[in-house]
Structures are given as C-alpha cells and as structure tokens.
C-alpha cells in the first residue's frame, strides 16, 4: 500500500518537473518575445526568431522563421525546438495549433501593461537555464517602474496625445502599454476613454481636446513631419521616442518611459 502511494506521488510529481525543465532549443515568433527571452537568460537557447528581432544585436544573426506573411512551420520543425514563444494577438493560430499537435510546447506571452511584462519574465524563469536571471529582471523592472511613477507623479497631469501616422490618424487608448507610459510620467492620455485600443480619429477631435504635448515614435525627421502636420493649428510640444522602445511590449518599454518622463517634467503645470 505504501509502495502504491509512493508511485502515485511520483506520477503526480513527474509532469510538474517536466514542465519546469529548462528549454534547450527555443523559437520566438515576435520581436518583443525575443527581447523577453534574452532578458530571462534564454538567449543562448534561441535557435529561431521572427523578422525584426534585432535586439540585442546577436538576435539579428539568428534564422528568421516568421514574418508578417506567416509562420514557417516546416523550418521550425527542422530546428527541433522544445519551446516556442508565441504572441496570441499577432501570430496566426492555425500553425501554432499544428506545432502543439506535433508535441512542441507553445508558450503564449502577450503583455498588455508593465506588470505583465514582469509576469512574462517570471513565466520564462521556469524554462530558463538561469531562473534567477529572469526573476531578477522581473523584480528590477518592477522597482524601476515604480520609482518612475513616484518621482514623476503630478497633481495635475499633462494632457497628452499619442499620435501614430497622419493619413489616417491613429492613437492609443488606456488599454495600451503606450498609454501607461504617459501615465507613469505624469501625463493624461486625451483619448484614454476610447472604446477600442487603437482608435482612428480626426484632426478635429484632437483640436477639441487641446493636448499640451504630442508623443510620437521616431526620430527628428518624423518629429518634423508631425510639427508640419499641425503647423499653426495646435500649439503643442512634439516629443519623439525611440520607436522600438515605445512600440514593443517588452523590457525596453522602461527606456521609453525614462526618455519621456524628464521631458514632461520640464513642462509647466497648467
């Protein structure tokens, strides 16, 4: 009877240890997931990545097995991964189901806010050869994010407009990480109340809400385009953030906040 009880315990224990075993060969299907993998200590296990996986620099040397056109399942199978990192909101589901049916572990990571970035790092700790690296990265990220929030809090937040493109004109609602970057820096997203995450809006809607700041992704040339777009219609300072930092839901979203916060802090409160 005792022997049977021990065997039962072993049967329960073995699957748990199997799922927690470090991954040996990993494929990432989105640039932000590639960044998360490296931050979690899985860079040495990556054997395939998606297009635009260019950070850290060594990621650009890895074979690309996915892009906007789809996922190359045949090539992924050739690489023999034991873990595939997928983005449920952006990767097509059918090839992911195919990989799962063939016995490959597919881990979905789709962080929607800063805390979920830290949670993703903690999830990856179970598969990392260095779990402490992932856990430390998550804790450091949380601490630095909270420090920014405390340092740059404003009694009266700066009204800010997140602008993507000009024709058509898009922005972000409160349901996005980009909006959270504004919030942590003491700004208020003027379209936070939009019902969809990425609403298309009109120029008139922006003018009605009178933002003090326009936040964009890009460099000096893009900043000039936006300034010319609004010309004399809107007196708002345009702040350009690094496109990869601001657009990717990964650890470097912290850098976007660190880039934005001091610039907003220099503005007078209305």
Mean pLDDT, range 164-177, rounded to an integer:
95
Per the annotation, binding residues are 52
Q: Which domains does the chain have, with CATH numbers?
A: 22-144 (3.40.50.1980), 152-265 (3.40.50.1980)
pTM of the entire predicted model: 0.89
Task: State what percent of residues in the chain have pLDDT above 70.
Answer: 92
Average pLDDT over the chain reads 92
pLDDT bracket for residue 8 (50, 70, 90) = very low
pLDDT at 16: 36
pLDDT at 6: 43
pLDDT bracket for residue 21 (50, 70, 90) = confident
In the chain, what is the greatest distance between 2 CA atoms, to the nearest angstrom? 85
Task: Judge whether residue 172 has pLDDT over 50.
Answer: yes
Of 15-29, 41-55, 95-109, 127-141, minimum mean pLDDT range = 15-29
- DSSP H/E element including 245: helix 243-247
DSSP 177-226: HHHHHHHHTTEEETTTT-SSSS-EE-HHHHHHH--SEEEEES-HHHHHHH
Per the annotation, binding residues for cyanocob(III)alamin are 52
Give 111's Cβ-side CA count (13 Å radius).
30
């Amino acid at each position: 009877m005792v022997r049977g009880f021990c065997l039962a315990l072993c049967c329960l224990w073995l699957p748990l240890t199997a799922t927690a075993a470090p991954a040996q060969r990993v494929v990432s299907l989105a640039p932000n997931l590639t960044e998360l993998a490296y931050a979690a200590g899985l860079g040495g296990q990556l054997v395939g990545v998606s297009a635009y996986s260019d950070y850290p620099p060594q990621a650009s040397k890895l074979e690309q097995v996915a892009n906007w056109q789809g996922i190359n399942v045949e090539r992924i199978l050739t690489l023999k991964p034991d873990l595939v990192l997928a983005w449920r909101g952006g990767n097509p589901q059918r090839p992911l189901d195919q990989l799962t049916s063939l016995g490959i572990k597919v881990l979905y990571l789709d962080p929607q806010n800063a805390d979920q970035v830290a949670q993703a790092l903690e999830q990856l700790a179970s598969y990392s050869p260095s779990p402490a690296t992932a856990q430390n990265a998550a804790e450091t990220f949380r601490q630095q994010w909270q420090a920014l929030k405390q340092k740059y809090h404003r009694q009266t937040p700066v009204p800010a407009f997140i602008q993507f493109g000009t024709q058509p004109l898009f922005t972000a609602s409160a349901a996005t990480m980009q909006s959270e970057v504004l919030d942590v820096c003491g700004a208020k997203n003027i379209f936070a109340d939009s019902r969809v995450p990425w609403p298309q809006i009109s120029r008139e809607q922006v003018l009605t809400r009178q933002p003090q700041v326009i936040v964009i992704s890009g460099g000096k040339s893009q900043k000039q385009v936006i300034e010319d777009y609004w010309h004399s219609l809107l007196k708002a300072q345009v702040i350009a953030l690094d496109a990869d930092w601001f657009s990717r839901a990964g650890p470097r979203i912290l850098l976007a906040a660190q880039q934005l916060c001091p610039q907003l802090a220099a503005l007078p409160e209305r």
